[in-house]
Structure 1
Amino acid sequence: MRKNGYTLIELLIALAVFTVVIAAPTGFFVSAIKGQQRALASQELYDNVSYVLEYMSRALRMAKKDFEPTCCSAANTNYELTRSGKGILFKNYNGDCQEFYLDSGDKRLKEIKNGGEPIPLTASNIEVKNFIIGEHGWSQDDNDQPRVTLFLEIEGKRGALAELHPIIKIQTSISQRKLDIQY
């Protein structure tokens, strides 16, 4: 004889099946959202680094020799290190004095043209952990074409979670376009 209703075991089994059916897709959905957040944080970092390196590379490649020390501290200079090696000063293709440097206060790359106000090149949610400028052939006493090597270690700061703070290390070398002949 059966009465209308369910036994305790039937209820527990139904609840367990329902929990598994709902929990699995919810877990997949949460994982997908976290993965998308990580991907967006990385993409934002890559976009910023790409822009900064392209902008700096173009300016450094097109630099002119400073025949009179109007920009750099010595005559016949292509580039000059500034700010204890964390900056580079040069005369750009328009003849303006231009400097790229790492601001140690807010950990951002900045640019100054003709002694004006600093302009940030990196976004506020990106921290430059390391900026190294390598020099080769900058002297007039060698027969080498001037070359600048830039190394950047940058961390994205999107959100409070550590997984949303991707770090990228990237290096590029730029050779000056104009021939460096001794005068």
Structure 2
Amino acid sequence: MVSVAIFSFVVTSVSGIFATSIKLQRRSVAYQQLLDQTSYLAEYMSKAVRMAKKDISGACTGAAKLNYSFSGQCLKFLNYKDQCQQFCLDSARMKDQNGDYLTSGDLSILSFSVDLSGQTQDDNIQPKTAISLDVQGKENLRLKIQTAVSQRNLDVRR
């Protein structure tokens, strides 16, 4: 009788430890996926924004001689190939100018904000863009990330 009780206690303890380790492993994998996808998104957007050019005509940004514009949850700029490029928050997912999603359906972007400085021709400040994302992944994990990028080309008056 005592041996059955000890055996039951050991089996229950081992089962509990095993279940807890599986739960922790699942959470760890979900957090790794959240970090991977958020890191990719931040790096991809940073590279594109860093390589932006001044929109002399204003056809892309909506105003002449503007480097970037942010309105309606869309960041717009002229890329190094003289093509209008944008990143927009659409239904809790980030997408580009082609309508392709940059994040998987497993992630939900809760907020996307951009702080622009030096984007106009009227100042003597090198254009800088600060991008902030609040992302939620599986297992209700949440990550806030912010990156600041300065335009690669010098902002000279034209």
TM bracket, shorter-chain basis: over 0.9
1:61 is aligned, of 50, 75, 87, to 50
The Cα RMSD (Å) is 1.0
Alpha-carbon offset, residue 77 of structure 1: 1.2
Partner of 1:102 in structure 2?
Answer: 89
Question: What TM-score results when the alignment is normalised by the length of structure 2?
Answer: 0.96
Partner of 2:29 in structure 1?
Answer: 40
Q: Structure 1 stretch 27-36 or stretch 68-77: which is displaced more? A: 68-77
SS at match of 1:28: helix
C-alpha distance in 1 between matches for 2:149 and 2:74: 15
Amino acid in structure 2 at the alignment position of 1:109: M
Identity %: 39
Amino acid in structure 1 at the alignment position of 2:89: L
Question: What TM-score results when the alignment is normalised by the length of structure 1?
Answer: 0.83
Partner of 1:7 in structure 2?
Answer: none
Contact 1:62 1:176 in 2 (8 A): yes
- 4+ residue runs over 3 A deviation: none
Residues 29-61 of structure 1, C-alpha deviation per residue, up to 9 Å, x if partnerless? 111100000000100100000000000000000
Contact 1:131 1:152 in 2 (8 A): yes
C-alpha distance in 2 between matches for 1:31 and 1:66: 55
Q: How does 1:64-83 map to 2 (within 5 A)?
A: 64-83=53-72
